[in-house]
Each structure stands twice: as C-alpha cells, then as structure tokens.
Amino acid sequence: MSSESMTPKRSGPLILAKGVGKRYLSYEKQHHRLARMFGKKNYAKEFWALRDFDLEVWPGETIGIIGRNGSGKSTLLQMICGLIPPTTGDIEVNGRVAGLLELSAGFNPEFTGLENVYLKAGLLGMRRAQVDAVLDSILAFAEIGDFVTQPVKTYSSGMFVRLAFAVAVAVKPDVLVVDEALAVGDAYFQRKCHRRIEELQEDGCTLLLVTHSTDAVERMCSRGVVINAGRKAYDGPVRGAVSDYLKLMFGSHIVNQGGSKVAAVNCAETSAQAVASMLGTGFEDVLSTRSGYNRDEIRVGNGKALVADVHILGQSSVPMLSPGQQVEILVKYLFVESISRAIFGLKVRTPEGELVYSTNSFIEGGELIHGNEGNVVMARWKFNAHLLPKQYLLTFGISQFDENGQAIVAIDRRTDAMLLIVLGDTGAAQGVADLQAKIDIDTMVQVVVDDC
C-alpha cells in the first residue's frame, strides 16, 4: 500500500475518551414512545450500558479489554469504531480504526463479495485506486474463490469472517479492534489471522483485544482494562486485570493462614510418609509456606473447599526436573462445607500465560467427587514432564458442576500457585513440548537426467 494511505505518526493518544456514557431507553407500550415525543409524560425506562468512562489508548499499545457478558465492552468498542454515538462525554479518535467487533458493519448482504470489499474499504478511508492495489492480496487471504462474485447473503459464517478480516487488515489500521469473532473460523484460518495480527503489531499497530480468554490476554497484552456493570473497574498491568476479572467472575475468599510455619516435606520420604506429613498439618491451609510457592498467584472461588497443600515428591526445595521425568504431585483438599459434584483440576502454563496442559479428575476418571464438611482428601497427580527446559507454573483447583451438570462454579482456584523448573539444554529445540523427534537421512544418490 502506498505511504499516503497511512496515518502520520502521533505523539499523543490515538484514542481519548472522557466521561463517555451510553444510554438506551425502553418502553412497555408503543404509545408511550409517542407520548414522550410530544412532550407528555415520560414512560421511558433508562438503561446505561456505559457510564462515566475514561480511556487513553497510546500508539503501539496492546490492550486486553475483559468483563462479564453485558458489562459494556461491545458498547465501548462500537463507539470507538464509530458505529454508535455516545450519549454523554466525548471520544476523540486520531487514526484509522479497523474493527472486527461487528463484522457485518459496512457489508451489504445484497452486494457481491467484491462489491463489499470496495464498500467496506471505502468506509475505512481507502480510495478505489488504493483498494485496486491490494485487491489481489485481500482475495488471496480470504480464500473464498469464485464466491467473491456472489451476494454475501449466500455465504457461510466462515466465508463471511474470512472476507471481513481480509479487508480489515488490508487497510493497515492504526488501531485494530478484535473480539471473539475469530473463533468461528477453522484452526488454519485462526492461526493465519493471529499471524497477521502479530505482523501488524510488529509494524506498530495498536491492538484492542476483547476476549474472555485470560490466557490470551496475558500472552498478548501488556495492559488490561476490566469493565463491570458499565464502569471501568481496573486499568493497569495485565496481571492485575486478570486477577480482578477472575474475582468478578468467581468471587473471592480470604483464608487466615496465621503465619503458619511448616517444615518442608523431606525429599527422602516415601509417598506414604509424605502423605502422613501433609496430613499432620490438620485442617490448615499451608500451601503458601511451601517451597516453590508463587506469592503472585491468583486465587478465586467461594471458599467452600480449599486447595490447602501441594508437594511434588522427591523435591524438598523448588521443584526441578529433567525433560521426560515422571512427576508425582500430592495435593491436599479441605472441605469446609459439604459439596457434591466436585472436580479437581490441574493446569500447566508458561510464565507468559500460554496454556501447556489442562485436565481434571472428571476428564481422567469420569467420576464426580462428594465431600462432607470437615473431610480432608489427598490426591495424586501423575504425569511425564515431556517439556522443554523452561520455567512453568502449576494451577490447582476444586470446582463444582451446577445442578444441570453444565456450568462450573469455582470453589478454590489457585492460578499459577507453584513453580516447576525443567532443566537442560535450552538450545535443543523451541516451544514447550519435548516430542523427542528423531530424523533418519537416507543415503544420497545421484540421479542422471537425460536431456530431451
């Protein structure tokens, strides 16, 4: 694309929102709306989707925006993208914004895909000659073939997303707004989109990421904004944003640990001896006193049961393993109240937030757990650490299926509670998993090709 299509670099914020609010009015009956129009009694009921919201977005930032469903995230971003006006306050946008918040915005279902490419690109500020210059790359990215000459109302959701995304990233925006819309594509397309987003970030594009995936926020963002009930609840480092969001979602409980001092489990102890040692602390929550504990863990849940202690067998200090080594982890759970339909969970993540492995007792054993008030349960997690040398963080939790057996309620989720270090040659390979790949090279032979 020619340089004239790019917005000049700015030293100030790209987006500046001050006191922004969005109000919607609803009426029980149609004539109530007419009564208000003619200045008679006001029957309207007010709903503020967003209120008194301030936000500054600076060039090159990657910001994760998270919150419950209905918190006001989409309303904010629709206003940033210029789709709806604010009721109160002002939004100043100093750059080109491409939004994947509303993929259908700017698309006419009666127009062909090709006609919609020119239409939406035009709405994003591109002239026809500029669209002509990048048209081939747009169509190549979308990969919808001859369907580009058909009305988009005949498209599948996957085809629609491909074309909309291809247009949005082709304009090389100053700000790219992305939400969960990319989840509708197949794995190949999702990876293709993420790779394009990474390229835009490397070129200095500002990214606003709207998602419910805290892993994605921690992996991609340096700043987090939490919206709750239409108001900004948090704006700052991404770790704090994730913590606040999880507390909003699952609640929080505070356990009085009373400064307990516990001796580390001796690495020479047998499994039975280690269990006896951990049971010896009784009904205490002592995980925070163990070696390898991460004081920056995020802990959420209603506290009806507790993940009270964790020990990796054979380790008396920070757990250090070799790639492929078998790991056996003892976890002590305390039932503060009687709970049925419970499950125990385990996650392994990198410090950057990338999920390496996740499982739970229901997946592994197919059974739900019942615990009575005052019960202490010891459980063993066993796996082979086929991981490349790196630091990892372990998450332990106890959750409960609701009465319908669908939604999961967090009872005590201790995210990134324990450190796990895999030692070895860090230059051997890249990634996280040690697949122990081997390669055999066949004997090289010379093939003589006759000239025709």
Domain limits of the chain?
3-248, 271-422
- C-alpha to C-alpha distance for 74 and 94, rounded to whole angstroms: 20
Quick one: fold of 3-248?
Rossmann fold (3.40.50)
DSSP state of 151: B
pLDDT band at 2 (very low <50, low <70, confident <90, very high): very low
- C-alpha to C-alpha distance for 216 and 68, rounded to whole angstroms: 16
CB 233 within 8 A of CB 225: no
Quick one: fold of 271-422?
Coagulation Factor XIII; Chain A, domain 1 (2.70.50)
Query: Dihedral (C-alpha) 79, 81, 85, 89: value to the nearest 10 degrees?
Result: 50
Residue 232 has pLDDT above 90, yes or no: yes
Q: pTM for this one?
A: 0.74
DSSP SS3 for 185: coil
Q: Distances from the Cα of 439 to the Cαs of 266, 433, 442, in angstroms?
A: 42, 17, 10
DSSP state of 249: H
- C-alpha to C-alpha distance for 11 and 40, rounded to whole angstroms: 50
Residue holding tokens 């202490």? 376
pLDDT band at 74 (very low <50, low <70, confident <90, very high): confident
Q: What is the mean pLDDT of residues 188-213?
A: 85
Work out the end-to-end distance of the chain between its first and last CA atoms, rounded to an integer number of angstroms. 45
pLDDT band at 273 (very low <50, low <70, confident <90, very high): confident
Residue 1: which residues within 8 A CB-CB, separation 6 or more?
130, 133, 134, 170, 171, 172
Pick the residue with more confidence: 51 or 27?
51
* Burial category of 413 from C-beta neighbours within 10 Å (exposed 0-12, middle 13-18, buried 19 and up): buried
Q: For residue 375, list its beta bridge partners.
A: none
Residue 192 has pLDDT above 90, yes or no: no
Residue 173 has pLDDT above 70, yes or no: yes
Nearest to 214 by CA among 66, 87, 98: 66
- C-alpha to C-alpha distance for 171 and 119, rounded to whole angstroms: 13
Residue 434: which residues within 8 A CB-CB, separation 6 or more?
323, 324, 386, 387, 388
Least confident among 9-18, 312-321, 412-421 = 312-321
pLDDT band at 431 (very low <50, low <70, confident <90, very high): confident
Q: For residue 330, list its beta bridge partners.
A: 311, 380
**Angle value at C-alpha 253, between 252 and 257, nearest 5 degrees:** 140
